[in-house]
Amino acid sequence: LRFELAPLRTGSRIWKMGGTATVDGHLAAEAVLVATIG
């Protein structure tokens, strides 16, 4: 299982990230995450 995340938009407190999960090189899941920092 491998997770990869990339920032889509960064700010001072709110970050938006896109991510994928792969198993043996095959895409298993993908998501867009929004997080508040601080």
The confidence score (pLDDT) of residue 29 equals 98
The confidence score (pLDDT) of residue 23 equals 98
The confidence score (pLDDT) of residue 38 equals 84
User: At residue 33, what are phi and psi to the nearest 5 degrees?
Assistant: -115, 140
Angle at 28 between CA 24 and CA 30, to 5 degrees: 130
DSSP letter assigned to residue 24: T
Predicted TM-score (pTM) of the model is 0.70
User: How confident is the chain (38 residues) per 10-residue block, as mean pLDDT?
Assistant: 96 95 98 93
Side by side, which strands form the sheet with 2-9?
Answer: 2-9, 14-23, 26-36
